[in-house]
Every structure is written in C-alpha cells, then in structure tokens.
A and B are shown apart, each in its own frame.
Chain A
Amino acid sequence: MLVVVCIKQVPDTTQVQIDPVTNTLVREGIPFIANPYDTHAMEEALRLKDEFGLKVVAISMGPPNAEATLRKTLALGADRAILLSDRVFGGADTLATSNVLSAAINKLHAEEEVALVLCGKQTIDGDTAQVGPGIATRNGYSQLTLVDRVDNLDLSGKRVRVRRKLEGRHEIVESPLPAMLTVVRELNRPRYPSVPLRLASLEREVTVWDNSVLKLDVNSIGLKGSPTWVSRIFSPQREKGEIVGDGAQDPKGTARLLLEKLRSKDLLPV
C-alpha cells in the first residue's frame, strides 16, 4: 500500500521581494526550499512507513529544478519520487494543480493501492490551502484537514483516526481509507537525513511524468485550466517604529513608557 506525499518547491519567502513595477515575485537568486508544511507531511509518511511498512511516494508538480526538492525526499527515505513536469502544466492555479496531482495519484493507485495522501496544510507562497482538499474532492477521498496527530491507522479495516487542530479546540475524526490529510507543524519533527541515505539518493532516479504520461485535457490544466487571475501582488507597507525611552539608562521608566504606549493603543488591558 502507498502513502503519497505531495511536496511543493517554493521560494524561500523570507528572502522574496516583490518587483514594484510588475507586481511579481523577484525570483532571481532566491533559493528554493521544500514547502515547510510539506516536510511535516513527509515525516509522517516516513513514520507510517517505519510503523506499517507502507511505501512512500513523493510527488511534486513543478519546473525541472523541483527535482532537487524531490531528491531530498529520497535522502530522507522515500521509496520513489515523481516529478510532474510539462510546459502545459505551467501557470496553474490551485484547481489546475489539483487536477494534475489527482491524475498522478490515480495513476499510482492503478499500480498499487493508495491508502493515504498527505499534504502540508498550505504552501508558504500561495497560502490558499486549496490543493489538498482539491485532490480529495477529485479522487473521492476522505478529507481530513489540519491534522496534528494520527491516532490510529487500521489498514485491514481501512480506517484512519486523526486529531484535527482547530481554533480553540481539537477534533478527533475517524474516516475510511483512502484519505487525504493536510498536516500542521505540530504533527511531528521532521528528521534529518543520514549521510549514507543522502549519498545513495544522489544515485537514485527521480521519475518525470509529463502530460504524455498523464494524458490530461489541456483545457483542464496549466494556464488554460486556471480560472483564477491575480490582479495585483504587493507587500503591505509597514510603518516605521519608534524608540521609546532609554532602556540602558532608565529601564524602569522605559518599561513604564512602553506599557503606557501599549495601553493607549488598546493592546493591553488598562
């Protein structure tokens, strides 16, 4: 049985700047990383592999350089890594993206039964949190979002029980397999790859599937299959802060000034 992990290679957003003229991300010289939430999905898949012997398949839709991120999943212990890459996939919004990922998962399912699909709760570049649910909907999987604990996986009874982290409360949910889980950071601590696995991963293959493999209608994928249009991207301007008092000379007075300031802005109870 398979557990499929969807990984996205994203720009390291702490370093991203927005071009004020074109309203697009300045991508030159910006390093790419695996979407941080996805690394927790990967860790959970590896944990399930360790516990239940599931096979872990990492998939990613992206340009050819996304191979680097997939290779890291091999170093961590993924059994297989598949890059979904084709010019016709480019410019996709969340709908078109989930179409491609769903098709790839269906294709994997045809080879070997898929028990679980794991995604990060959202990406740090798009922040929509729509692709995971999109996959679940398209493939008719149970949809379990914001998972912070996998309580039980019953492969013979085909059920999974998880805890969802919601605002102010937790929810324990059980559902049939196959299921799609989106995960939050609290779920686990991603492991660090051992050197032998890292070295071996350098010699392993990252499979590439293009649309000649997936055979999707070009009107449902890429730019053509994307109903979303971005009209403008901008970074919100942050007002310059002010220095209150002199903490080195007069720590007590400065602390008092700070408290007054916070109270005057209604940020602290009076």
Chain B
Amino acid sequence: MAPNITIFAPLLAASLLLFAWNCYRRFSLVAVGQAEDRFQRPATRLWEMFRFAFGQKRVLSRPFGVVHACIFWSFLALVLANGEFLVAGLVPSLNLGLLPAFAHHLLMLVFDLVSLLALTAVLVAAGRRLFCPPAYLDSSYAKARSPEAFMILSCIAVLMLAYFGLHGALIELGQEPAGWMPISARAGKLLGPLSPQGFAALASFFWWLHAVVLLAFLNYLPLKKHMHIITAIPNCFFKSLEKPNTQPREEFKVGNSFGVGSVDQFTWKDLLDGFCCTECGRCQSVCPATATGKPLNPRQVVHDMKANLVNGTMDGKLFKSAQPLIGSQGEGSVAEDAIWSCTTCGACMAACPVFIEQMPKIVKMRRNLVEMQTRFPEELLNLFENIEGRSNPWGIAPTERTKWYSTMDVKPFEAGKTEYLLYVGCAGSFDSRQKHVTVALATILDAAGVSWGILGKEELCCGDSLRRLGNEYAFDKLAKENVQLFKGKGITKVITQCPHCFSTLQNDYRQYGLELEVLHHSQMINLLIADGRLQLNSQVKHLGNIVFHDSCYLGRHNDVYEAPRQAIEAATGSAPAEMERNRENSFCCGAGGGRMWMEEQLGSRINLNRIEEALTAKPDTICVSCPYCLTMFDDGLKDLQSGKDLPSGRTQVKDIAEVVAEGLRPSV
C-alpha cells in the first residue's frame, strides 16, 4: 500500500524537524546545568541501564509495574514496525519484505501479538486510572484522571487499532499473509465484507490515521511527561554509582557560590532528572514527610525544578530564571518548609524506577540557604554553634565524653597496640539513654576479648547532621580535623554504634582520602559470633516478642539488612518479627537529615506513624540499631502509651547491643 508521497513526505519532514527542534530546546535547557562527570565506569553503567531500563527491574518491583513493562517491551518491538512504516511511507520498496520470508513473517507475528499486548495493557492502565487509582497518582499539579494521561493512553490505543485495521484490510486484499497475523486477520474479518475498493479505502484511512497519530504523538513527547520515553533510558545509564546520601564536596574559595539557589546551579544530571519524571508518584508514596502531611513531596520538588527551568528564557547562552527557585511562588518554586522537611531517608530515590535523585537536590538547596543566605529554622543556630564550638550537637563540654564508663575499665586507642577504635559518637557519649547502649556494646566487646579503645576527650562529632543540613562549610572543617586525627593515630578499623557515624566515616570521609574499615556494631557482633569469640545462649526470652526497625542509614543507604536481624536471632533463638515496611522499604523514624534537631511542627509526627505500624505486630520490644531511632521510638511510645493501662504491658525500645548483652548473662 503506497500513500500519497507528495503529502506524506513534507508532513514527515515537518514533523521530524519540529521534533528535533523541540528536543533541541529541551536539551539545551539541560545543558544550562553545571558540569558533572557521569561517564566513569561505562561498562557498569551499560549493565545498570540494561537491568533497570530494558529489564524494567524497578518498575516491576510493584505489581502494577507489569502493565508498564508490557507497554515498554511492546514499544521496543514496535519501534522497528513503526520505523519501517515511516520509511516505507517514503520509499515503498524499502520494507521488511526484503528480509527472508521466514524472518519477515516471524516479525509480523511478533508485531501482531505485541500490538495486542500493548492494547490490552493500555486498557488496563486506563481502567486503573478510571476505577481504582492509587492516591499517590494525585499531586498538586497532576491527577490520576488527568486528561494528559488519558490522551497518552488513547494515542497508544489508536495506534494499535489503526495497526490492526490497516493490516486487517491488507489481509482481506490478499496483500499480507493471514496466518502470520492472527489478530489483524480477525480485525479484517470484522471490517468486512467489503469490496476490494472498500478495503483499499479502509487501508488508506488506517494508514493515514496511524501516520498522523504517530507523528502527532512524536511531537507531543518532548513537551510533557511522556518525554521519559526519550530520557529515562539514558537516565538509568547516568544514575549515581556513588552512595546517594554522600553529597559532593564544595570548594571553599573566595568568589565561589555555594549550593543551589537558582535552577542553573543544578548539574546537568539534576536537570535531566526533571525531564525523566513520569509522574508515577512512587516517590511520593514512600516519603515520610508526604505521608505525614508536611509540605514536602519529592515528586513536586522535581516538578518545580523542571517548571522553573522551562519557564526561564535563554539570552544567548545565558539562562534567565523567570522566578526564584527557592520560595513560595507556587509552581516552579520550592518552599523552604519543603526543603527543611526532608529526613534524607532516601526512600524516594530507592523507589524511583528511573533513578531520579530527589534528595540530593534538596540538600543542595539547603546548602544555599545555610551557606549563602543563612536562612534556616532557628533551632539549627544552636546546633551549628554547638557542633562548631564543642563538637557535639548538645554543646556539652567535650571533657564529658568519657562519663559513660564510670564503672568500666576503658582504654584509650593506642596506635600499634589497639586493633579497633570504638567511635562512641555524640549520642553514645552524651545521651543518657544511648549511654546504656555504649555500655552494653563495651561489655560485648570485652566478653569477646576484642582489642578496642576509644578517643575519649579527643573524639569529635562526625558531622553527619551538618552535612545533611547543608552546612557543608562546617562539615568540611570537621571532616578535615577528623581525618587528620584518624590518620595521626593510625586508625584503620572502626566500630560505630550509630549508622550516621557509620555512613559518614565510611562513605563521606572517603572523599577526604580516608579509607577505613568501618563496622556497625551489628556487623561486629556477627563477626564475633562467626569467629566463635562470642557465645550467646539463645536464651533471651524475657524481652518477649521483638520487632525490628531498619535504620535508613544502615539499611537503605548502606545495604546492611541481615546483620542486626542475625544478632537478635543469636541472642533470642528466633528471628525478629517484621513490620510491613521493612528492609529497603523501611519507613524513617523521622530524625535523619538533621531533623533530629528540629521541631516537627508541620503535619503529624513521623515517629508516631512508624510506631503505630510497629505496634500492629504486638511487640513487647521494638529493637533498633540507631541512637536517633532509639530516641524517636522512646519519645513516640511515651506519647502513645502515657496514661493508658495496657493489658499486655508497655512496649519497650532496645538497641540490638542491649539485646545481645542480655544474652551474655549465664543462662538460668
């Protein structure tokens, strides 16, 4: 079937030119961003792209993702069919019929079947949006039942229907083999009976319908969310290979600007993220701030960044924003309250099927607020001054760092003599509840005969909160002092009881040239059990039903999921109960990202949301592996259980070290 070339050729040329022009406009906006190397380790990148883009790994992590995967894989096959369609539209003799007959017929069969698959999938997707849309599809700027979504689904459906109509008519005309195209053949039967002229007219109609919708759809892509078809695959290639919670360093030089205060200060990869968002809402569905009614929605942050960029104008090579990036100017601006609501738990990034980096953008904007504008919630002024002045968040005298071990014999770390540094951390040194954990851990290490020591009064804060809050200048100073201290003392092996210290020493300090073997105490305990140095009697029964809560900085950010569970099991003889949201789907306690030091005045409380989930497992003990989680659970349980007469008794909170230390007692 040959279309009228004099109409089609100019139409195709115009469409392609318009498409190229719109893509150019979009990508020249991406090029406004700052430089960033996302090309290192290309083989790894290709493999990741294969797994996550072509393999749809993250898309499939949720049941409904299978519908997207069907559409996507069908799309991949149909790219070939549509390519042929356009080429043959210009030069009819250039078509897949040039292939050996069997290959050609096989392709026709595949196209026929995947077209049906795609049609079914878009109908299911439309049905979901119509009849049972999940809440997270809705946001302030797009709704589950948005006209755009239905328009996109309709376009795909019309393309498939036109495909069947065209080939059905061609089969009826005897131009294509019915046996290889069962669906199209059935469609042809539905169209007829007609005269050959009638089928020819229908074929022509469907051909043009297919052509016009295809070219219109093509030109629609760069304008809206469907641009992810073009950008998502490369975005998986450019995904961060680093720890996402480890922000890049800044160079503190006179004349430099710090953080991101206008959209062009983001990197090109940040900006590309904006054009990859498909508005699936998964980040929104897992964000603790969003879940508790705070002004932050990670999807909205990405949307506003993109809107700010798109609303701007290019003056030659200079980009001019139309509105401030940070502020309350509505769409295109990110509210300060939203920026400060982030716990940096990383759930958004772990959920995003196309590896958009929401959290690092928030930290970059925090940096600008703190470092350039000195605008931050007033509670943080004390925090910053306490850490800068006394190297701990509470501003307690450093001389009191050793007060936790009044009754124990604790030795200082000595280069060459001591194997492990126990980096006690600020909470372990000063927080009255966490000090019990420190003592429990010290008892365990002594029981196993570990050679360990502490820095005592010389120990400094690791700076985690400073960095996540965007006070990179103060963090930088602290990190340099710590690195010098560690190098000076020849420290190579470190045990921490705080996932924030753990992550900072292990990941962030690597940027300062310090390579340490850092073990979270749960890992150390498992190591000692495996070596036979720690004998646990599995007899700890009085803590009752234990449910375990994953810390974000141990779990999601550092992939340590099993060590704490194994430690509990070794002490109690049974695996801990699990909450519905566990491991990589764990829900933050609310204290990460410096939120520990801020009031939670907006929305409901994150810790209560999590504790209510924990209590559904009817635990006697909630077990944690992080000082922040300990505080948040302790406080939350007090809120929930105060003044109540609970028939099953009060739930208590324990760190895994305390559970394990119980297991060291002689069995009764």
Contact = CB atoms under 8 A, between A and B. Distances in A.
Interface of A: 12, 14-15, 31, 33, 189-196, 198-200, 203
B433 to A, nearest CB: 13
Interface string B234-259: 00000000000000000011101010
Interface extent on B, as a size class?
20 to 34
B254 A195 contact: no
Contact of B372 (A12, A33, A189, A195): A195
A199 B252 contact: yes
Contacts of B370: 192
B384 A192 contact: yes
A195 B373 CA distance: 9
B372 A200 contact: no
Interface in B537-582: none
Contact of A33 (B252, B384, B389): B389
Nearest to B376: A192
**Taking each of A14, A192, A194, A196, which has the highest tally of chain B beta carbons within 10 Å of its own beta carbon?**
A192
Interface in B443-481: 473
Given A193-B374, A194-B373, 13 more contacts: A12-B390, A14-B396, A15-B397, A31-B390, A33-B389, A192-B370, A192-B381, A195-B372, A196-B254, A196-B258, A196-B372, A199-B256, A203-B254
A165 to B, nearest CB: 21
Interface of B: 252-254, 256, 258, 370-374, 376, 378, 381, 384-385, 389-390, 395-399, 473
A191 B385 CA distance: 11
A200 B473 CA distance: 13
Pairs A-B, 7 closest by C-beta atoms: A195-B371, A15-B397, A14-B397, A195-B473, A192-B374, A199-B254, A194-B374
Nearest to B476: A195
A194 B254 contact: no
Contacts of A189: 378, 381
A194 B371 contact: yes
A31 B389 contact: yes
Contacts of A194: 371-374
A195 B390 CA distance: 20
Contacts, number: 43
A235 B45 CA distance: 65
A195 B389 contact: no
A4 B237 CA distance: 59
A12 B397 CA distance: 9
B367 to A, nearest CB: 9
A191 B374 contact: yes
Nearest to B372: A194
B370 to A, nearest CB: 8
Contacts of B371: 194-195
B399 A15 contact: yes
Nearest to A14: B397
A79 B376 CA distance: 25
A203 B370 CA distance: 22
Nearest to B253: A199
A191 B399 CA distance: 28
A263 B398 CA distance: 36
7 contacts: A15-B398, A189-B381, A191-B374, A192-B376, A192-B385, A193-B374, A199-B253
A196 B253 CA distance: 8
A198 B395 CA distance: 22
A195 B399 contact: no
- Which residue of A12, A31, A195 has the most chain B CB atoms within 10 A of its CB atom? A195
Contacts of B373: 194
A235 B256 CA distance: 49
Contacts of A33: 389
A225 to B, nearest CB: 33
Contacts of B390: 12, 31
Contacts of B381: 189-190, 192
B212 to A, nearest CB: 56
B511 to A, nearest CB: 18
A199 B378 CA distance: 23
A267 to B, nearest CB: 24
**Which of A189, A191, A193, A194 has the most B CB atoms < 10 Å from its CB?**
A194
A74 to B, nearest CB: 13
Contacts of B256: 196, 199
A190 B252 CA distance: 24
B398 A198 contact: no
Contacts of A190: 381
Contacts of B397: 12, 14-15
